[in-house]
Structure 1
Amino acid sequence: MYEPFRCPDSRVDLASGKGTQCDKMVAKYDFTYISSGDLLRAEVASGSDQGKQINDIMKQGELEPLDMIIQLIKETIKKDLLTAKGFLLDGYPRNVEQGERFESDVCKCTNLIYFEVSDDTMKARLLKHGQTSGRVDDNEDTIVKCIKTFHDESEPVLQKYNSIVHKDKEDNFMTIMDRAVEVAEELVLQGAVQKPKQPG
């Protein structure tokens, strides 16, 4: 028997400040935070063969193989399953297939939070971030590819999950932060809870 599983996804445009928004929601509601990007970068840093493969894919601005990312997410959920009050999944799903696989292997997605920013804003923020991040995917060529991949692969996610999407357009930073917490409050009050499958 497992603890209840909250499954709101943070599906946000690139460089929208989603990590900071997630941090605030995690602090307020004591959710367990899972960043697909952090999991991938940690695997790269490990120096494993899989990490080297991920690094090459990141340099091209492409999406990582589905089996690879879903396994990393499942391992993290399995580790914290009995103690977590809920999980906030950041940056996933990035395409429809990822969402379907997550629902098949882990649990149904109950809510999705989406903050929209313009392509120009995404590019400018990522270029600025790249000046200090040292990340292989924070250069102009890769950023342009990432934005194209986002439109091609990620926008259909909004159509598939249209009935559970909480969507806000680009705004000043504090308004976005307040709205992110407001949406999380709504989800908690609604009791958006699912019991998970045991990740295999």
Structure 2
Amino acid sequence: MSPRNSAVEARRTKARIIERSVALASVDGLEGLTIGRLATDLGLSKAGVLGHFGTKEALQLATLERASTVFTALVWDPAADSEPGLRRLRAVCESWISYLEHARETFPGGCLFTTAAVEFDAHDGPVRRTLARLLLVWRRRLAGEVRLAVDAGELPADTDPEQIVHELTGIYLALNQALQLLRDPLAATRTRRALHRVLAS
């Protein structure tokens, strides 16, 4: 095999490991990722898995970054072409519901970020810092849309964007729990009702 083909194959293998890690972490958490489980699932040796990352922590960080990319593709990108402000914010909220309801192939255990936040909120270190950074980036993006809606007169002038984002975050944490733990068939309907109140123009 040529060096070029070897490099391509290495990238493919690393991508497979990360994709499987995202799925496993959504169910078992980032701490539940084990080199042995990944090796068995993917038909690789333990050394073959570890060689791509060096440490479990590096694998966890790569898993978070990949999950963030997938989340953006599933939640933000479908709404990206909507009119900025309230219309785009509502479109994002709808695709966020769809992500939690239907992205089972990628996230069989529900929102990986919700699982990871519970795992790492009382810890310190690179994984917690990366998780917090990714969540803050998302919150700032949402707050930006709220500000655009306020500037366009779509929301009251005294609207606090950070408060809206705080409430949206709570709504989606509740939706994830209702879907995953409670198997509530009305979870999405209840979420849309809550969104209607929070984003009333």
TM-score (norm 1): 0.31
Q: Which structure has more helix as a fraction of its residues?
A: 2
If you compute each CA radius of gyration, which structure gives the higher value, 1 or 2? 2
Structure with more contact order per residue of length (Cα contacts < 8 Å, sep ≥ 6): 1
